[in-house]
């Protein structure tokens, strides 16, 4: 039996003396687009950083493609919510995507043919190949987000982690990116995405994992949406909340 692309088993993480994640069990297999949803402070970004190997769990294990996660070495791509790109810096789109490979190439070596091939492949996947030589300062918000996704894809990851990828983007751009994430999962990647766009996640994702320190619900969108009592407890809303009524319409 094929191992899950990403597997968190009984993971607990402490930050600043506080238990942020406790007993997290979550698997994502190749071909799945999974939305990780929860209130602010639920531990969503912490979970992604733990899956990257950047935060060591206090308890439990994290495996990627059946092996314990190794920071910078496991086949995991990451698009953070807050990025470090200076969009006014005079480099091209292709150069910006190449920065995703700097750690793998090393600080002294120059990119080789295989590295540029990986960049070209990533740009094709996100639909930016025709803009490879365009200065990044000329890109729209949606195109910039695609550059960040391509930068992660240049690593040719088995697992792609996306932290609130729709922040600051308008609805048409969100829908275009959602279609891209569906395509990336369909091309045999495991995609795990944190998002506040609950309606969009319920419509597009294969699974919904509801997080509040631990995974409190995990399953098909229609099944998870139907468990309104769990949503009410997780988000701290009353039974007559408009939020819950929206969930009822999605089922």
In the chain (251 residues long), the average pLDDT of successive 10-residue segments reads 85 95 97 96 95 94 92 88 81 94 78 92 95 95 94 95 92 91 94 94 95 96 90 86 77 60
Domain boundary among 101, 121, 156: 156
Q: What CA–CA distance (Å, rounded) separates 236 from 226? A: 17
127 and 171 together in one domain: no
Domain boundary among 113, 128, 156: 156
So what's the pLDDT on residue 175? 92
Q: What is the pLDDT of residues 225-239, one digit of tens each?
A: 888 889 889 998 887
139 and 23 together in one domain: no
Host domain of residue 139: 85-156
CA nearest 70: which of 53, 48, 58, 57?
53
Domain boundary among 123, 140, 156: 156
So what's the pLDDT on residue 87? 85
In a domain? residue 123 = yes
117 and 233 together in one domain: no
33 and 130 together in one domain: no
> 182 near 113, Cβ under 8 Å?
no
177 and 212 together in one domain: yes
Q: pTM for the whole thing?
A: 0.92
Q: What is the pLDDT of residues 14-56, one digit of tens each?
A: 999 999 999 999 999 999 999 999 999 999 999 999 999 999 9
**Tally of domains in the chain:** 2
In a domain? residue 10 = yes
């Amino acid at each position: 039996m094929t191992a899950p692309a990403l597997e968190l088993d009984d993971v607990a993480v402490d930050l600043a003396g506080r238990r942020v994640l406790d007993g997290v069990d979550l698997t994502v297999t190749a071909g799945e687009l999974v939305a990780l949803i929860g209130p602010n402070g639920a531990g969503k970004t912490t979970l992604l950083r733990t899956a990257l190997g950047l935060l060591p769990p206090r308890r439990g294990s994290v495996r990627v493609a059946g092996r314990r996660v190794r920071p910078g070495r496991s086949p995991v791509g990451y698009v953070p919510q807050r990025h470090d790109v200076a969009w006014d810096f005079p480099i091209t789109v292709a150069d910006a995507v190449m920065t995703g490979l700097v750690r793998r190439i090393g600080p002294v070596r120059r990119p080789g043919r295989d590295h540029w091939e990986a960049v070209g492949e990533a740009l094709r996947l996100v639909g930016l190949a025709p803009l490879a030589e365009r200065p990044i300062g000329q890109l729209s918000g949606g195109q910039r987000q695609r550059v960040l996704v391509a930068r992660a894809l240049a690593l040719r990851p088995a697992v792609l982690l996306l932290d609130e990828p729709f922040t600051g983007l308008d609805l048409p751009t969100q829908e275009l990116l959602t279609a891209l994430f569906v395509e990336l999962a369909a091309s045999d990647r495991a995609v795990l995405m944190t998002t506040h766009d609950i309606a969009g996640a319920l419509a597009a994702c294969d699974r919904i994992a509801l997080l509040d320190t631990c995974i409190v619900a995990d399953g098909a969108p229609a099944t998870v949406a139907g468990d309104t009592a769990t949503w009410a407890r997780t988000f701290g809303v009353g039974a007559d909340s408009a939020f819950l009524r929206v969930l009822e319409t999605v089922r």
